[in-house]
C-alpha cells in the first residue's frame, strides 16, 4: 500500500465492509425500536393523555428517521466513507455534504482494539478502535481479516520504530 | 531495588498533624450527635450512637493504621509505595517516567514542618503516588531523584530501614556511586519572577477574582451577621447610609474580599530557575504549593490577556506540561506579569514556545484593533445573554429561574461559537511551533509543540478543493487531551502539520510518547 497521504478531504484507498450498510440499517432499526419501547412503557406507567401524545409523536419521528437512514443515508454513508492504514499514517474520511477527515500518525497509536456486538458477530464484522494518547478513533465495520491486517500494520510500525530507537546513536 | 535503597515511612509528625485537623471536627460532630441522641429514643437512637462511636474510632485509628501499613522505598531507579492492611498493594514509578513532583503543605502540615508530595507520570490514566508526610530532607532527596540529579546514598540522615518493617528486597543489582552528602539543601536556584502583595492586589482586580470569590464570601458574611443577630443593626446602618452608600460599601467589601482571597492563594508567588534547568514555582499562604517543572515536560505556553491587562500592559502566562491538570489540579499560571518581565521570562526560560507567543502578542498589540475586537465580541456575548434573559423573563413572568437557565445556555452556546469563530491556527515556520490565537472576551495565544499533536480532524464543504478547509481541530496532549479548534487555518499549514505527524516515527516519536505514558 502506498504511503502517500491523501489530500485533505480526498478519498482513501479502502472502504468499509460491503455489508456495513446492512449493519447500519439493523443498528438504526434496533435503536429506534428500543427507544419506542421505552417511550411506550413510560406512557403506560405515567398514564397521562399528554404522555400518550408524546409517545405517538416520538414513535412517528423515530420511524421516519429510520426510514430515512435505511433508504438514503446509510447507503451514502458507505459510499462516502473510506480509510487507509499505512506504516506512516491512518486516514479516515467520512461525510457527503461536509467532509470530515481524521489523520493520525501511525507512530502515535498505542494500541489496536476490536469491538464486536451481537449484530456485528452475526455478520462476522468488527469495529476497530485505534487508541492513541487520550483519544480513541474508531473505524469500521470491517471484516475480521481487514481488522487483523490493520493491527499487523500498526504493530509492525511500532516494531520498526522501536528498532530505529534502539539503533539510534 | 538496589543496595542504596532508602526505606522510610511517613513522618510520625503526620499523625499529630492529622489529629490536629480531624479532632476539632470530630468533637463538633460528636457534640451534634449527642444533642440529637439526647432528644431521641428507640432503636434509631442506639444505631446512630453505635455508628457515631465507630466512626469516631475510625477517625482516631485510621492515621495509625496508615502509618503502620504504608511504607516507601526510593532508589536510583524509582520510588515504590507499599500499602494496605489485608489487601497489600505495591506501586512503583520509575524516575524516567516521572513527569512532576508537587509538594503541598497545608496549614496542619506546616505546623509540624512537613509536607506531602504527589509524584506523577504523564497522562490521565497513568500512575501517581502520594507521599503523605515527609520532612525536608526526604523531600529534597525525592525531588533530586526526580530531577535525575541525586542518588539516595547522598542524603545522609533520611530515615532508613531501621525505621520501618518494609518488605524484603531482591539482592542488589548494582552499587551506585554515592554523591557527597548534601544535607537538606535544595539545588541552587535563581529567582526569575516574584509577586509582592501590592502586585497581588492588582492581580485580584485584573483577573476579576473579586467577581468569582466575593459573592460566596459576602453571602457567608451575611449569614454570620444574621446568625449573630446583627441583621437589625445592619438594616439601621443601611437606612442611614442610603442606597448609594450601601452600593459603595458593597463594592469596597467585594474588592477587599477578592484581594484577601488572592493574597491568601498566591502569597509569596515565586518562580525560580534551578541549576538543573527545572523551574520551581511556589505560592500560597494557608497551603504552600511548590511545584517543579522540568524542561522536558513542557509542551507549550499560553499567553492570555483581558482588556484590563491589555490596558495595563500585563499578561498572564500559562505553562502547558505533560502533567498539567490531569494530576496536579491546574496548569502553572504566572498571574498578570508586566510585559517587559514577561518578555525576559519567555526569552530566557521557554525557548521557542515563549518567543513565538511573545512575538504574536507584540504583533497583536501593535496591529491595533485587538481591544476593539475583544470589546465588540464581549458586547455581542453580553448582549445576547441579557436579551435572552429579559425576553424569557418577560414571556414567562415567573420567578426568573427559567430565564436564568435560558441565559446560561445562551452564554454557553454564544461563547462556544464565538471562541471557535474568532480562532485561527497557524504553523510558525520560524520557531517550528503551532500558534493558536483567539480574540473572544480575552486575547489568547497558545504556542504548542507540533510533535505533541497526535491527531488532526478537518471539516470542509464537499467537492471543494483541498485549499478550502472549513475547520480544524488539532488534538494534543498536555496532562489531558486538549484541542486547538480553529475556523481559519491556511491549507498550507494544515498540510505541514499532517506531514509532520506522519514522518516523526523515524525519530522515535511514538516511543517517546509511550515512554511518558507507561
Residue ranges, chain A, pLDDT below 50: none
> How do B433-440 and B442-448 pair as beta strands?
antiparallel
Looking at per-residue confidence, does B396 or B486 come out higher?
B486
* Residues A108, B464: C-beta atoms closer than 8 Å: no
Which among B277, B282, B350 has a CA at the least distance from the CA of B320? Answer: B350
Contact of B324 with chain A, judged by CB distance below 8 Å, is answered with no
Q: How far is CA B172 from CA B73, B169, B175, B442, in A?
A: 14, 8, 7, 56
Q: Any idea what DSSP says for residue A58?
A: H
**Alpha-carbon distance A81 to A91, whole Å?**
11
A104 neighbourhood in chain B, CB within 8 Å = 454-456, 501
Output b/e per residue, B424-462; b: 16+ Cβ within 10 A.
bbbbbeebebbbbbbbbbbbbbbbbbbbbbbbbbbbbee
> Which residues is B455 bridged to in the sheet?
B475
Q: Is the pTM of this model over 0.80?
A: no
- Across B149-237, where does the E strand assignment appear? 189-194
Over the stretch B449-482, which tens digit does the pLDDT of each residue have? 888 888 889 998 877 776 777 789 998 887 777 8
Chain A residues touching B466 at Cβ < 8 A:
7-10
Does the distance separating the beta carbons of A8 and B495 come in below 8 Å? yes
Starting from the edge strand earliest in sequence, which strands make up the sheet with B89-94, in order? B6-8, B71-74, B78-83, B89-94
Q: Which residue has the higher pLDDT, B151 or B306?
A: B306
Q: Which residues contact B326 (CB under 8 A, 6 or more apart)?
A: B120, B122, B123, B124, B479, B480
Give B-chain residues touching A168 at CB under 8 angstroms: 508
User: If pLDDT is split at 50, 70 and 90, which confidence band does B183 have?
Assistant: very low
The beta-strand segments (E) located in B306-441 are 314-321, 332-338, 423-428, 433-440
**Res B330: pLDDT:** 58
Contact A107 B495 (CB under 8 A): no
The confidence score (pLDDT) of residue B173 equals 32
Q: What are the tens digits of pLDDT across the range B21-51?
A: 888 888 888 888 888 877 777 777 888 888 8
Over residues B221-257, the pLDDT tens digits come to 777 777 777 777 777 777 777 778 877 887 787 788 8
Give the model's pLDDT for residue B35. 81
- Per-residue pLDDT, averaged over B418-426, amounts to 88
Residue B243 to residue B183: CA distance in whole angstroms: 62
The alpha carbon of residue B462 is apart from the nearest alpha carbon of chain A, in Å, by 5
B-interface mutation test, from A105, A154, A164, most B Cβ less than 10 A away: A105
Percent of residues, chain B, with pLDDT higher than 90: 4
- Residue of A9, A96, A161 lying closest to B505 (CB–CB): A161
Q: Which DSSP category does B496 fall into?
A: H
Residue contact A5–B502, C-beta within 8 A: yes
Say whether residue B212 is in contact with chain A using an 8 A CB cutoff: no
Residue A1: the pLDDT is: 54
Q: Which residues of B touch A160 (CB under 8 A)?
A: 505
Question: Does B495 lie at the interface with A, CB-CB under 8 angstroms?
Answer: yes
Report ipTM for this prediction.
0.79
Do A108 and B457 count as a contact with CB atoms less than 8 A apart? no
The three cell numbers of residue B216 are 460566596
CA-wise closest residue to B184 among B156, B165, B147, B217: B156
**B427-433 mean pLDDT:** 83
B426, B490 in Cβ contact below 8 A?
yes
Give the pLDDT confidence score for residue B36 in this predicted structure: 81
Cell 484593533 sits at which residue? B369
Report which of residues B440 and B395 the model is more confident about.
Answer: B440
Whole-angstrom distance, CA of residue A29 vs CA of residue A65? 9
- Give the residue on B whose Cα is nearest the Cα of A98: B461
Average pLDDT, whole number, for chain B? 76
Average confidence (pLDDT) over B381-401: 82
Residue B129 in contact with partner chain A when CB distance is under 8 A: no
Mutation site, B493, B502, B507, B511, interface A, largest A CB count within 10 A: B502
Yes or no, beta carbons of B510 and A109 under 8 Å apart: yes
* Interval B87-106 mean pLDDT: 76
Which one of A8, A96, A132 has the shortest CB-CB distance to B494? A8
Residue among B412, B422, B408, B411 at smallest CA distance from B372? B422
Give pLDDT tens digits for B293-352. 777 778 888 888 888 888 888 888 888 887 654 444 456 777 777 888 887 777 777 777
Residue B515 pLDDT: 41
> In B152-188, which positions are buried (b, 16+ CB within 10 angstroms) versus exposed (e)?
bbbbeebbeeeebebeeeeeeeeebeeeeebeeeebe
In this prediction, residue B120 carries a pLDDT of 76
* Yes or no, beta carbons of B466 and A10 under 8 Å apart: yes
Q: What is the pLDDT of residue B179?
A: 33
What pLDDT, on the 0 to 100 scale, is given for residue A67? 92
B8 against B310, higher pLDDT = B8
pLDDT higher than threshold 60 for residue B517: no
Instruction: Say if the Cβ atoms of B123 and A134 lie within 8 Å.
Output: yes
Ranges B226-230, B270-274, B420-424: which has the least confidence = B226-230
CA distance B479 to chain A (A): 10
Size of interface A-B (CB pairs under 8 A): 117
- Chain A residues with CB under 8 Å of a chain B CB are 5, 7-10, 87-89, 95-110, 132-135, 137, 157-158, 160-162, 164-165, 168
Q: Does B466 touch chain A (CB under 8 A)?
A: yes
- Take residue A112 and report the three cell numbers written for it: 489496536
Amino acid at each position: 500500500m502506498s504511503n502517500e497521504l491523501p489530500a485533505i478531504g480526498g478519498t482513501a484507498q479502502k472502504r468499509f465492509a460491503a455489508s456495513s450498510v446492512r449493519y447500519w440499517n439493523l443498528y438504526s432499526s434496533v435503536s429506534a425500536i428500543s427507544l419506542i419501547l421505552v417511550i411506550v412503557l413510560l406512557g403506560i406507567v405515567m398514564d397521562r393523555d399528554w404522555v400518550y401524545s408524546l409517545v405517538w409523536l416520538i414513535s412517528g419521528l423515530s420511524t421516519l428517521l429510520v426510514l430515512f437512514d435505511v433508504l438514503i443515508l446509510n447507503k451514502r454513508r458507505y459510499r462516502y466513507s473510506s480509510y487507509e492504514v499505512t506504516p506512516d499514517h491512518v486516514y479516515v474520511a467520512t461525510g457527503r455534504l461536509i467532509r470530515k477527515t481524521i489523520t493520525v500518525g501511525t507512530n502515535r497509536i498505542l494500541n489496536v482494539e476490536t469491538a464486536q456486538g451481537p449484530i456485528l458477530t452475526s455478520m462476522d464484522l468488527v469495529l476497530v478502535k485505534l487508541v492513541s494518547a487520550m483519544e480513541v478513533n474508531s473505524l469500521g465495520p470491517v471484516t475480521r481479516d481487514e481488522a487483523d491486517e490493520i493491527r499487523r500494520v500498526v504493530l509492525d510500525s511500532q516494531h520498526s520504530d522501536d528498532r530505529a530507537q534502539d539503533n539510534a546513536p | 531495588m538496589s543496595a542504596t535503597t532508602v526505606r522510610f515511612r511517613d513522618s510520625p509528625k503526620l499523625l499529630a498533624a492529622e489529629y490536629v485537623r480531624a479532632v476539632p471536627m470530630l468533637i463538633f460532630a460528636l457534640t451534634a450527635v449527642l444533642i440529637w441522641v439526647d432528644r431521641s429514643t428507640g432503636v434509631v437512637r442506639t444505631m446512630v450512637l453505635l455508628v457515631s462511636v465507630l466512626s469516631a474510632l475510625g477517625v482516631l485509628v485510621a492515621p495509625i493504621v496508615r502509618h503502620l501499613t504504608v511504607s516507601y522505598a526510593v532508589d536510583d531507579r524509582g520510588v515504590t509505595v507499599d500499602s494496605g492492611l489485608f489487601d497489600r498493594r505495591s506501586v512503583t514509578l520509575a524516575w524516567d517516567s516521572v513527569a512532576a513532583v508537587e509538594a503541598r503543605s497545608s496549614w496542619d502540615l506546616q505546623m509540624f514542618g512537613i509536607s506531602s508530595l504527589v509524584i506523577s507520570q504523564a497522562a490521565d490514566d497513568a500512575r501517581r503516588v502520594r507521599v503523605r508526610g515527609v520532612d525536608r530532607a526526604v523531600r529534597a532527596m525525592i525531588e533530586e531523584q526526580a530531577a535525575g540529579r541525586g542518588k539516595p546514598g547522598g542524603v545522609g540522615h533520611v530515615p532508613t530501614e531501621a525505621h520501618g518493617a518494609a518488605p524484603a528486597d531482591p539482592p542488589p543489582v548494582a552499587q551506585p556511586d554515592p554523591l557527597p552528602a548534601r544535607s537538606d539543601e535544595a539545588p541552587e536556584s535563581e529567582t526569575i519572577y516574584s509577586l509582592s502583595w501590592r502586585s497581588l492586589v492588582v492581580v485580584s482586580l485584573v483577573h476579576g477574582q473579586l467577581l468569582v470569590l466575593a459573592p460566596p464570601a459576602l453571602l457567608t458574611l451575611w449569614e454570620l451577621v444574621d446568625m449573630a443577630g446583627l441583621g437589625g443593626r445592619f438594616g439601621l446602618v443601611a437606612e442611614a447610609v442610603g442606597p448609594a452608600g450601601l452600593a459603595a460599601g458593597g463594592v469596597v467589601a467585594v474588592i477587599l474580599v477578592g484581594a484577601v482571597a488572592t493574597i491568601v492563594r498566591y502569597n509569596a508567588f515565586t518562580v525560580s530557575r534551578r541549576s538543573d534547568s527545572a523551574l520551581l514555582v511556589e505560592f500560597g499562604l494557608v497551603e504552600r504549593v511548590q511545584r517543579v517543572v522540568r524542561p522536558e515536560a513542557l509542551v507549550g505556553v499560553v499567553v492570555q490577556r483581558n482588556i484590563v491587562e491589555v490596558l495595563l500592559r500585563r499578561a498572564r502566562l500559562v505553562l502547558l506540561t505533560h502533567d498539567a491538570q490531569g494530576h496536579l489540579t491546574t496548569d502553572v499560571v504566572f498571574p498578570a506579569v508586566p510585559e517587559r518581565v514577561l518578555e525576559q521570562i519567555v526569552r530566557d526560560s521557554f525557548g521557542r514556545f515563549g518567543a513565538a507567543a511573545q512575538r504574536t502578542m507584540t504583533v497583536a498589540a501593535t496591529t491595533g484593533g485587538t481591544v476593539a475586537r475583544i470589546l465588540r465580541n464581549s458586547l455581542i456575548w453580553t448582549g445576547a445573554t441579557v436579551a435572552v434573559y429579559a425576553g424569557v423573563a418577560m414571556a414567562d413572568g415567573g420567578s426568573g429561574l427559567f430565564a436564568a437557565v435560558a441565559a446560561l445556555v445562551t452564554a454557553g452556546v454564544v461563547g462556544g461559537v464565538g471562541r471557535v469563530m474568532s480562532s485561527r491556527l497557524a504553523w510558525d515556520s520560524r520557531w517550528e511551533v503551532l500558534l493558536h490565537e483567539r480574540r473572544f472576551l480575552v486575547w489568547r495565544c497558545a504556542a504548542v509543540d507540533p510533535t505533541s499533536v497526535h491527531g488532526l480532524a478537518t471539516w470542509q464543504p464537499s467537492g471543494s478543493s483541498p485549499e478550502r478547509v472549513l475547520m480544524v481541530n488539532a488534538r494534543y496532549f498536555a496532562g489531558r487531551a486538549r484541542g486547538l479548534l480553529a475556523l481559519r487555518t491556511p491549507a498550507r499549514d494544515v498540510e505541514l502539520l499532517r506531514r509532520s505527524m506522519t514522518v516523526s516515527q523515524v525519530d522515535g516519536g511514538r516511543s517517546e510518547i509511550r515512554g511518558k505514558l507507561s
